[in-house]
Amino acid sequence: MRYNLLARVDASPANAGRRRNLGISDPVPATERDLYWEWVRAEVDVPANGTRSARLARHGLDARMLSILKDGDRGALLAPDWDALQAAFRRLRADYLDPLLDGTTAWRYGEFPLADLAGVRIPNLTISLLPLAPSRRLGEYAAALDAGRETPGLPNLSVYREMRGGFEPSRSRGCPVLISERVEGPYVVAEGLTRATVLVSWQREGRVVPPSLRVLVGTSARAREWKWW
């Protein structure tokens, strides 16, 4: 089953004018709780692992919970653990995702085709990202980083290079999070930007990549109110 979230015109000479469906396959309904789980797991799986883990601990996640997050043993979380996970997430990221946590966003898991990832939009971070990718397309952003361009005073290039050097998609924790206004798209990457950029870069140089990427998609009529839309 395929859940079409975006359609675009294929501009290649052989297919000029044809519309090509983009979107996730095998959609599975999810909840805001899944957002907490995926996002905080990704916080554990970053180059600055120790620093991020220490920050999570300061926000109420003890060593046992950090171990569960690292191992992916979701079934081991008890009701109080979920409360702690939600509280930690909201302290860390509620402002970033406002107003998408108002209870009306529809969440779903799915498989996003890697061949279409370059067309997904990066967040509207005017100072840090847009100078590198005015089109806001992930493909343009990856090309800029591969060319050694960076935003002065910000670590996006060094973080990208560090992840690109040792990234193993099958071992990555927490799936990327995409935001859309409606089921037809377009998408904006809310979480997992660096990982997605690495995969697009690998595609550009002809490396073998997985055919699809597991993602969590949030669809909200209020998406345009999100300051990073």
Q: Are 209 and 29 in contact (CB under 8 A)?
A: no
pLDDT number for residue 125: 84
Q: Tell me how far apart the alpha carbons of residues 147 and 4 are, in angstroms, rounded to a whole number.
A: 33
Q: What integer pLDDT is reported at residue 1 of this predicted model? A: 45
The rounded distance, in Å, linking the Cα atoms of 126 and 192 is 18
CA distance 165 to 145: 13
Predicted model pTM:
0.86
User: What is the number of other CB atoms lying within 10 angstroms of the CB of residue 162?
Assistant: 15
- Domains of the chain, by residue range, sit at 2-30+103-225, 32-97
pLDDT category, 229, cuts 50, 70, 90? very high
Check whether 174 has a pLDDT greater than 60: yes
Q: Render pLDDT for 41-88 as a digit per residue (tens, 0 to 9).
A: 988 855 444 566 777 888 889 999 999 999 999 999 999 999 999 999
Average pLDDT over residues 29-50: 82
Average pLDDT score, the chain:
85
Instruction: State the average pLDDT over residues 198-222.
Output: 95
Residue for token pair 């809310």: 190
pLDDT at 40: 93
